[in-house]
């Protein structure tokens, strides 16, 4: 019996869960469907992207070596996939030393995810887009606080202790909350008044939490206020230059550090890899995640546009969508191999869990048309659990 090669591209949340679920589904199928499972990623690690703010506030390493997640039975390839040839069922990749190779596949899962939106290079500040930028942010606020501790000019000291976070999505909120805890703790250690560290969250919209009800957005804003974060609505920052942020209404404000958290964009390489792309830059798939006109190719996670066939709802771009998609996909792949009817996509329940610094959080669930809100320690525990489960750190 021919061993089938199944290649998963991308070791983000969708990719690692796809590999895990395929292993689970195909475990008892070795005699029927012997499988070679390959996971390709540009990195040798899974990046815990949802914790990107952590290296901006502490020394925490948010990388998990893929060999730790998959110590056996999965072939790990560190390489960037450049192209997929659906006719010949092969892909081209360039490995970590720059050599180009080809690999044949029988089944292929594309989970190349999204990239974090960058401001233009002349807009100043630091965008929280990568491990390196997170570390830059940490060095910048630490260095500002150190300077503030010995600064005699009150206005300059005030400027150095002012941090502006531009973009009030979940990433901006979580970054602000972690900074409120860690920058104030470090400020105190340096002999500064922690309350004099000003953290402002600039929101281009008129309220927080556009993915849920207004009252939950207001609750979130109050919780941020409680930890000393001021939210400014309808404020658009144009640029930061020489310690000054410029707002679209002409206003200027002094800041020590400007951090951009501008949300996600589809991975631009989807446009060149050889997959069918819809106008918003996502991969076109059917209700069972099959890529149009490419037999044996599937796509899930942030890079695919997935629509609920029952209500037309477009799936969100978060882990809580990607992980159930991965579980369903493994069943779909087995059903397709066996010529059986495959499952189709179903939306996940409306749920958001937002971390508000150590020991604090807000969880919102909408079930049976009712809003449930959990705050405080329990919500933090839920958030910690979901962070860990998403990166397969729980058993
Ligand atoms: C700062 C931040 C905070 C977030 N917070 C939350 C949160 O609290 N909760 C939540 O549910 N979601 C959150 N999200 C969203 C969540 O991170 C994404 O929905 C999730 O990462 C999607 O998983 P994915 O596997 O589709 O893509 P990704 O996690 O983006 O993974 C894509 C993988 O593909 C690899 N790759 C890309 N191109 C290639 C190529 N050509 N060849 C080989 N490998 C390639 C990349 O290296 C990467 O490992 C957050 C996102 C950010 C940026």
Write the residue with the smallest CA distance to atom 46 of ligand 1. Answer: 10
H or E stretch at 305: strand 304-305
Question: Mind listing the pLDDT tens digit for each residue in 362-390?
Answer: 999 999 989 999 999 999 999 999 999 99
Give the list of residues 6+ apart from residue 375 with CB closer than 8 angstroms, or none: 219, 223, 360, 361, 362, 363
Q: For the chain, list residues with pLDDT below 50.
A: none
Residues at CB less than 6 angstroms from ligand 1: 9-15, 40-43, 47, 49-50, 52, 80-81, 111-114, 116, 170-171, 264, 267, 269, 301-303, 317-320, 322
Cα separation of 94 and 101, whole Å? 6
- Is-contact 303 113, C-beta < 8 A? yes
Residue (of 170, 164, 166, 261) closest to 220 by Cα position: 170
Q: How far is the CA of 54 from the centre of ligand 1 (A)?
A: 16
The pTM of the full predicted model, rounded to 2 decimals, is 0.96
Cα 78–138–380 angle (5° rounding)? 85
The pLDDT, as a whole number, for residue 132 is 97
The pLDDT, as a whole number, for residue 155 is 97
The pLDDT, as a whole number, for residue 395 is 67
The pLDDT, as a whole number, for residue 97 is 94
Residue of 12, 16, 70 best suited for mutating to test ligand 1, as the one with most atoms within 8 Å of CB: 12
- Is-contact 99 92, C-beta < 8 A? no
Cα separation of 325 and 348, whole Å? 9
Residue of 9, 13, 211 best suited for mutating to test ligand 1, as the one with most atoms within 8 Å of CB: 13
Q: How far is the CA of 12 from the centre of ligand 1 (A)?
A: 5
Cα separation of 82 and 301, whole Å? 19
Q: How far is the CA of 111 from the centre of ligand 1 (A)?
A: 9
């Amino acid at each position: 019996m021919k061993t089938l090669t199944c290649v998963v591209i991308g070791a983000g949340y969708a990719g690692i869960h796809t590999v895990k679920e395929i292993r689970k589904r195909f475990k008892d199928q070795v005699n029927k469907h012997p499988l070679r499972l390959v996971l390709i990623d540009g990195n040798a690690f899974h990046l815990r992207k949802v914790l990107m703010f952590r290296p901006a506030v502490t020394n925490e390493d948010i990388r998990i070596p893929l060999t730790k997640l998959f110590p056996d039975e999965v072939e790990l390839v560190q390489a960037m996939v450049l192209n997929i040839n659906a006719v010949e069922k092969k892909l081209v990749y360039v490995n970590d030393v720059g050599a180009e190779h080809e690999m044949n596949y029988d089944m292929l899962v594309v989970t190349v995810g999204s990239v974090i939106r960058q401001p233009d290079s002349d807009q100043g500040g630091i965008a929280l887009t990568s491990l390196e930028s997170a570390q830059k942010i940490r060095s910048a606020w630490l260095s500002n606080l150190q300077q503030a501790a010995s600064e005699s000019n009150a206005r300059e000291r005030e400027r150095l202790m002012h941090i502006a976070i531009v973009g009030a999505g979940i990433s901006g909120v979580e970054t602000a909350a972690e900074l409120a805890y860690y920058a104030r703790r470090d400020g105190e250690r340096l002999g500064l008044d922690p309350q004099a560290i000003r953290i402002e969250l600039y929101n281009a919209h008129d309220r927080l939490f556009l993915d849920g009800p207004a009252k939950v957005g207001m609750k979130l804003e109050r919780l941020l206020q409680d930890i000393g974060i001021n939210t400014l609505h309808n404020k658009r920052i144009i640029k930061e230059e020489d310690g000054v942020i410029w707002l679209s209404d002409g206003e200027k404000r002094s800041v020590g550090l400007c951090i951009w958290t501008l949300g996600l964009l589809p991975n631009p390489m989807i446009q060149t890899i050889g997959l069918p792309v819809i106008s918003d830059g996502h991969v076109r798939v059917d209700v069972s995640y099959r890529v149009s006109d490419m037999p044996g190719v599937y796509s899930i996670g942030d890079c695919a546009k997935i629509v609920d066939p029952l209500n037309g709802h477009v799936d969100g771009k978060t882990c809580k969508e990607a992980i159930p998609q991965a579980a369903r996909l493994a069943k779909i792949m087995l059903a397709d191999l066996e010529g059986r009817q495959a499952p189709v996509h179903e939306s996940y329940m409306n749920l958001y869990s937002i971390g508000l610094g150590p020991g604090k959080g807000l969880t919102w669930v909408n079930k049976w048309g009712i809003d449930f809100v959990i705050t405080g320690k329990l919500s933090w525990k839920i958030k910690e659990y979901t962070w860990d489960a998403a990166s397969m750190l729980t058993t």
